Amino acid sequence: MPRKIDLSEKINQLRSFHEAEGRAPSYAEMAELFGYRSKNAVYGPVNKLLELGYLDKSTNGRLTLTAKITAATKLLGSVQAGFPSPAEEELVDTINLDQYLVRRPEATYLLTVSGESMIEAGIQPGDLVLVEKGGVPKQNDIVVAQIDGEWTLKYFGKDATGVYLDPANANYTRMRPERSLSIGGIVKAVVRKYDK
């Protein structure tokens, strides 16, 4: 009868290796990590981890770690934001926030928000906005834009008169470019840290 493989232990060992080394271990390193005497013994757990989506293979056949191992945050299910309901803590998956939020890493950057012109959109001073360059903004997208030489964060809009930028604060007014307008990117997410 084949020996039962403790995958949770192997996953934790791979996580620890990744945190220390920043990469996936080789087969030889996995054999040492798992306490096996030969590389051949590694193939069983590796195949199981590939099947379960913890490991992947690159185009050149090298093992890579997926977000299920490299992610540091556990996804425990959902929570009711309306009326309370019974809930159980259940590990659904792990999630890497970069993979969850960033669709095009090469075109994505973060900015720290200053000013209060977008507070009614839920964007507060000190928040981080995740911005993706290169897209064409649609009506009411929140954009980072350079208007007449000054950078700002506003809602994008178009009407019969032309393009405008709207704040999300009644104390501010609509902006229309007098000389120039360029879009630096479209806001894809807002990140707020509560214990600053």
Q: Hey, which residues are catalytic here? A: 117, 154
CB 177 within 8 A of CB 187: no
* Coil vs helix vs strand at 17: helix
DSSP letter for each residue of 137-194: PPTT-EEEEEETTEEEEEEEEEETTEEEEE-SSTTS--B--SS-EEEEEEEEEEE--S
The string over 64-90, giving b where at least 16 C-beta atoms fall within 10 Å of a residue's C-beta and e elsewhere, is ebbbbbbbeeeeeeeeeeeeeeeeeee
* Coil vs helix vs strand at 60: coil
Q: Please report which residue ranges of 79-158 form alpha helices under DSSP H.
A: 97-101
From 135, 169, 134, select the one nearest 152 (Cα to Cα).
169
φ and ψ at 130, to 5 degrees? -95, 120
d(CA 48, CA 144): 45
